[in-house]
Amino acid sequence: MNATEINIIVKVGMADLKVADHPCILTTLGLGSCVGVALYDTKTKISGLAHVMLPSSLQARNRSNIAKFADTAIVCLVEEMITKGANKNSIIAKLAGGAQMFTLNEMSDIMKIGARNVAAAKEILENLKIPIVAEDTGGNYGRTIELYSEDGRLFIKTIGYGVKNI
């Protein structure tokens, strides 16, 4: 089955996460310094996508939205996939985003958040023993990503930096 033909496109907003059965396309638009964490179970083809904004819920004053933070979002995403029938041992991860949209030397914290988001996502995935098979992170440009459940490919669109599949 082809997800585009049957038109099951699930949109994931900023600070949001979604899990879906095959066939589907999970997409999140205009990732900047946020990171898109795409998880895919190679056996069941269950996929999950989180659009995380901040590295850690531990420093946050308001933790009500668990999809906002890399640590809580990824754990939740894996749990929801397992609830749907995914097998943790066959889940793979792909990362995109974490750009630095504005460049100025003296702008320290606000500027490095993209890289910190990517680092946090990697650490959480490592702790969960989920392999990161591909990534398209960093740079200074935005990305729209689409995760295809038919083969787990992550399609990436940009303005001025081309398109690619990872």
68 binds another protein (CB under 8 A): yes
18 binds another protein (CB under 8 A): no
58 binds another protein (CB under 8 A): no
24 catalytic? Reply is no
Residue 166 near residue 154 (C-beta atoms within 8 A) = yes
Q: What is the spatial distance between Cα 148 and Cα 162, in angstroms, rounded to a whole number?
A: 19
Distance of CA 1 to the CA centre of its chain: 24
Q: How far is the CB of 74 from another protein (least distance, A)?
A: 17
Q: Which residue, among 5, 43, 44, 18, has the nearest Cα to 147 in the 3D structure?
A: 18
**Residues contacting 51, CB < 8 A, separation 6+:** 12, 13, 14, 15, 16, 17, 28, 31, 34, 35, 36, 67
Out of 106, 129, 131, 151, the residue judged to bind another protein by CB under 8 A:
106
118 binds another protein (CB under 8 A): no
76 binds another protein (CB under 8 A): no
Q: Which positions touch another protein (CB under 8 A)?
A: 13-16, 29-34, 53-54, 59-62, 64-65, 68, 99, 101-104, 106-107, 110, 113, 140-144, 157, 159-160
Give catalytic residues, as residue numbers: 34
